[in-house]
Amino acid sequence: MIKWDKKTFIKHLRETSSREVAKIGVRLIEFSEKYSDDISWGRGEEHGTMTFRCESDFGYLPLFHLSSYGKINLQINFLRSKDIPPMVLRDLIRKLEAIFLYDFDTEMYPVDTYEEIEAMFHTRTQVDKFMKTIESAAYRLKQ
């Protein structure tokens, strides 16, 4: 089984995605290296994954996953299943809804799925706001 790391992940991302998607992916990886408490790399054979995890009272919680196929998985429903403070979860969801103009309620978003980065991020400002939102959520989960 292949063990993914930053170098192999970025190489595969650049081979399978557009230049813009690869740039966003690299920015999110660099952001994760700076702000996550733990980055885990997948072990899949066909594609790689990177998980941004933060430390909390409930152990390490994943906030998002990246796929080397240029997809992102927001861990909203996973976080709903944990007993994290409602105000932290509500704040995270509202900010993500404002960034992506998407409804992340349980009816419209019942399952965490991988979404195309290209369909989620249209501007550099969206990427910046997403990173600030994740940074804020990670900080609040540590309190």
Express each pLDDT in 124-133 by its tens digit.
999 999 999 9
CB proximity list for 82: less than 8 A, separation 6 or greater: 58, 61
Beta bridge partners of 137: none
- The crossing angle, in degrees rounded to 10, of helices 19-35 and 6-16 is 160
Among candidates 35, 136, 34, 32, which has minimal Cα distance to 90? 136
Q: State pLDDT tens for residues 5-22.
A: 999 999 999 999 999 999
Structure tokens, 106: 């349980």
- Strands (E) located in 5-48: 38-41
Residue 83 is predicted with a pLDDT of 85
Q: How many residues does the chain have?
A: 143
Q: Could you tell me the pLDDT band of residue 2, with boundaries at 50, 70 and 90?
A: low
Cα-flanking dihedrals φ and ψ of residue 80, to 5°? Answer: -60, -35
CB 83 within 8 A of CB 36: no
Q: What is the pLDDT of residues 12-67, one digit of tens each?
A: 999 999 999 999 999 999 999 999 999 999 998 899 999 999 999 889 999 999 99
Reference 13, options 61, 67, 82; nearest CA is 67
pTM of the model: 0.93
Mean of the pLDDT values across residues 66-82?
96
Q: Which alpha helices (DSSP H) does 44-123 contain, by range?
A: 76-81, 86-100, 117-120
